[in-house]
Amino acid sequence: MSIWVTPRTIAELTAASGNTASAAVGVQFTAIGDDWVEATLPLDERTERDAGVVDPGALAILAETLGSIAATMSIDTTRRMCLGQTLHVRHLQAAMAGPLRGRATPLDIGERAQLWKIQVQNPSDQCVCIAQLAVAVLDRLPSAPA
């Protein structure tokens, strides 16, 4: 059973991320399940640093993007909105090959707060990064667009 209150397609997520940091580093949404969202991050001139290793900031962009999208899809966006509070990113090993695949899954979806786990794996399915994104769920102001 799906947890999505405001479901989106991959095409809609791609269109919505047009002029964002995630688009600038090449994040591409690849799959949506009943309680998870996946995207890839390339390892190229936009995301790599010395010696062909992925820049940790690019991994943080991937994690924030996936967690925020998932949080927003899990609420009624006509009445509520999500605002990120804390992003904790733990880099487990250097990623030297891409694309990297991230998946956001819920740890807790509350009425006023949510916690999402984002795991990033290399092409060999080794976990290179694990992140947690905490978001506040707020009532939408009458003047705020959905």
User: pLDDT tens for residues 102-134?
Assistant: 999 999 999 999 999 999 999 999 999 999 999
Paired sense of beta strands 113-121 and 37-41, if any: unpaired
Confidence band of 145 (pLDDT split at 50, 70, 90): low
Per DSSP (E only), the strands in the chain are 28-32, 37-41, 80-91, 100-109, 113-121, 127-139
Identity of the amino acid at 123: P
- pLDDT score, position 76: 96
CA atoms within 13 A on the CB side of 104: 33
The mean predicted confidence, pLDDT, of the chain is 94
Answer yes or no: is pLDDT of 143 > 80.
no
Whole-model pTM: value is: 0.92
Catalytic residue, chosen from 38, 48, 64, 111, is 64
Confidence band of 39 (pLDDT split at 50, 70, 90): very high
Q: By the 8 A CB rule, do 84 and 114 touch? A: no
User: pLDDT tens for residues 2-36?
Assistant: 999 999 999 999 999 888 999 999 999 999 999 99
Map tokens 């605002």 to a residue: 83
The alpha-carbon radius of gyration of the chain (Å, integer) is: 15
Mean pLDDT of 92-111: 94
Q: CB under 8 Å to 145, separation ≥6 — which residues?
A: none
Q: By the 8 A CB rule, do 138 and 79 touch? A: no
Superfamily per CATH, domain 10-139 = Hotdog Thioesterase (3.10.129.10)
- Catalytic-residue membership of 12: no
Mean pLDDT of 41-58: 88
Listed range (87-91, 95-99, 120-124, 139-143) with the worst mean pLDDT: 139-143
- pLDDT score, position 54: 87
